[in-house]
Amino acid sequence: MNLRQLRYFIAVAEELHFGRAAERLHVSQPPITRQIQSLEENLGAQLFIRTPRGVELTQAGSLFLEEARNIAARLDQAADRVHRAAEGNLGRLDIAIFGTAILSLIPRIILEFKHRYPDVKIVMHAADKLGQIEGLHNRSLDLGFNRMLVPTPGLVAEQLCCEPLYAVLPDPGPWSGRDSVDLNELRDEPMVLFPASRAQGFVEKVTGLCHEAGFAPNVAQVVGDGFTAMALVAAGFGVCLVPESITSVRMDGVICLPLANPPAGATVDISCFYREGDTSPFLANFLAVARELTD
């Protein structure tokens, strides 16, 4: 039994006439007759009774018509799902994010993608930079978001945007009521850095900026994420520098000020990276949305 036989059988069963079924299928009648005979032989049952006006379904034929329609419908659904998946409209995309990413443009990208492609399931994974690289290499991830990516064999990094750095300072305190703060004003302050990570990144960025400003930071703590760093500032452990996006978090006991006369490089990127040569339509559609929102 094959799909062609099912299609031919359904057409004859619905038309009750071989000639009309042939016209409907845009084929000649002999192939339909041969396929129906072969189908009856394979099933070991007579499906039609020939009459002067055409054909009638036998009891077995009526039963088989119901099953054949169900099979044909399932095959049509399967073909449609495969076609939609091939175009990136149906499937799954595994994306890795990091702590402060949830406060930046990344949620907007994901929500816009979900709006355009509602049948693509987005699964988000929290992972640090090295965890994201490992996930991309072992194909458990399709794409990762992070900052300050370094060239990695087999992966493509794409910068989406940059954001300035802000100082998180205790409030009330010496900077209460100020509009900005100079990085040099923080030279004697205990500094809370983040994230504690297996890979170089934001900690090295901040310490490098301090050295460029002419001082070595007085590192009080190195913690896992920006939220913890801000909480420690509120508790009186020191000050910290953060990307602008995290300043949307309101926390008692701190103020967030832009840097006055910021040194060159006092910004931090948001980038994505993915496997080199990945032709996934899901990835292509997601990247198109990301680029559109960050142009």
- The reply to whether 161-268 shares the fold of 3-86 is no
Q: CB-based burial of residue 227 (10 Å sphere; 0-12 exposed, 13-18 middle, 19+ buried)?
A: middle
Q: Which residues make beta-bridge pairs with 193?
A: 222
Cβ-count burial 43-69 (b if 16+ within 10 Å, e if not): eeeebbeeeeebbebeeebeebbeebe
**What pLDDT is recorded for position 199?**
59
Q: CB-based burial of residue 186 (10 Å sphere; 0-12 exposed, 13-18 middle, 19+ buried)?
A: buried
Does the 161-268 domain belong in CATH 1.10.3720.10?
A: no
| pLDDT at residue 102 greater than cutoff 80 | no
Distance, in Å, from the CA atom of 119 to the CA atom of 117, rounded to the nearest integer, reads 6
Helix axes 18-25, 29-43, angle to 10 degrees: 110
Identity of the highest mean pLDDT range in 98-102, 141-145, 201-205: 141-145
- 190 SS3 class: strand
- Give me the phi and psi of 95, to 5 degrees please: -125, 135
Whole-prediction pTM? 0.69
| DSSP annotation of 179 | S
- Give me the phi and psi of 3, to 5 degrees please: -65, -35
> What H or E segment, with its residue span, contains residue 261?
none
| Peptide bond between residue 263 and the one before it cis (omega within 30 degrees of 0) | no
HSE of 49, CA atoms in CB hemisphere, 13 A:
7
| pLDDT at residue 266 greater than cutoff 90 | yes
Report the alpha-carbon angle 10-14-17, nearest 5. Answer: 100
Distance, in Å, from the CA atom of 208 to the CA atom of 188, rounded to the nearest integer, reads 16
| pLDDT at residue 154 greater than cutoff 70 | yes
Domain ranges of the chain: 3-86, 91-159+271-294, 161-268
Q: How many residues does the chain have?
A: 295
Distance, in Å, from the CA atom of 162 to the CA atom of 45, rounded to the nearest integer, reads 72
| CATH level 2 (architecture), domain 91-159+271-294 | 3-Layer(aba) Sandwich (3.40)
Other CB atoms within 10 A of residue 261 CB: 9
Other CB atoms within 10 A of residue 188 CB: 8
CA 231 to chain centre: 30
**What pLDDT is recorded for position 91?**
85
Distance, in Å, from the CA atom of 232 to the CA atom of 65, rounded to the nearest integer, reads 72
Tens digit of each residue's pLDDT (9 = 90 or more) over 47-84: 999 999 999 999 999 999 999 998 988 887 777 677 77
CA 3 to chain centre: 36
In one-letter notation, the amino acid at residue 190 is: P
> What H or E segment, with its residue span, contains residue 253?
none
**What pLDDT is recorded for position 105?**
87
pLDDT, mean of residues 177-183: 95
Q: Is 261 left (phi over 0), alpha (psi -120 to 50) or beta?
A: left
In this predicted model, which residue has the larger pLDDT, 249 or 116? 116
In one-letter notation, the amino acid at residue 200 is: Q
Q: What's the fold here for domain 3-86?
A: Arc Repressor Mutant, subunit A (1.10.10)
